[in-house]
Structure 1
Amino acid sequence: MAQKLHLTVEIPDEYVLITKVEYEELQKLAAKGNSWESLAWFKQETGIKHPDTLKTMILYPYRSELEKFVKYPEKKGSPWRFHKGATLDWLENNFERIARGK
């Protein structure tokens, strides 16, 4: 026969109890942020190590879509800039298309 134990745990006012799902959603929102990131960050997010591969697979084929939140270099040696939140959303929403190469 199973036994039951009932207890009360007091949570101090400076703490909030939330579900794991809510916590994970908050973590995702915090990770996205609204900052501008570098090409090194984009390489890390995609798992593609070589910049030329990134350019031929993602950055140039989808340029018309990405220009809304990716700052392409104006000249050789200028930095790439990625709006973190918008870039992550686009990568998530277009993963299948990128993987297929279309």
Structure 2
Amino acid sequence: MAQKLQLTVEIPDEYVLITKVEYEKLKKNADRGNSWETIAWFKQQVGIKHPDTLKTRILYPYRSELEKFVKYPEKKGSPWRFHKGATLDWLENNFERLIRGNNTLQGTK
């Protein structure tokens, strides 16, 4: 004969109980943000360590698309700036195209 156990857990008012799916969605949105990031951040996102490789494989070939949310340097030595949320969205939406065009992104020096 199966037994049932009924349990009541009190959750303090400063805590909220949500589903794991909801939590992951909130976490993903928090990671995206509206901040501006550096080229070091972008290199980490795509797994390319060398800035010249990054420029020849992604930043210059896709410039017309990226200029909407990437600030290209006006002159040598000026900083790159990447709108975090828009950049992450673009990378996610174009992942297959980037992989096909570059054979591989991960592990590239």
TM-score (norm 2): 0.89
Correspondence list, 1:5-84, <5 A: 5-84=5-84
Q: Shift of residue 4 of structure 1?
A: 2.4
Unaligned 5+ segments in structure 1 are none
The 3 A distance-change label for structure 1 pair 54 and 8 is same
CA distance in 1, matches of 2:68, 2:12: 45
Unaligned 5+ segments in structure 2 are 103-109
TM-score (norm 1): 0.95
Q: Percent identity?
A: 86
Secondary structure at the counterpart of residue 45 of structure 2? helix
How many residue pairs were aligned?
Answer: 102
The structure whose RCO (Cα within 8 Å, separation 6+) is larger is: 2
RMSD, aligned α-carbons = 1.2
Quick check: 84-93 or 44-53, which moved more? 44-53
Give, as a single letter, the amino acid of the residue that structure 2 aligns with 1:9.
V
Give, as a single letter, the amino acid of the residue that structure 1 aligns with 2:80.
W
Q: Shift of residue 12 of structure 1?
A: 1.3
Secondary structure at the counterpart of residue 31 of structure 2? helix
- Runs of 4+ aligned residues of structure 1 deviating over 6 Å after TM superposition are none
The 3 A distance-change label for structure 1 pair 65 and 2 is same
Give, as a single letter, the amino acid of the residue that structure 1 aligns with 2:17.
L
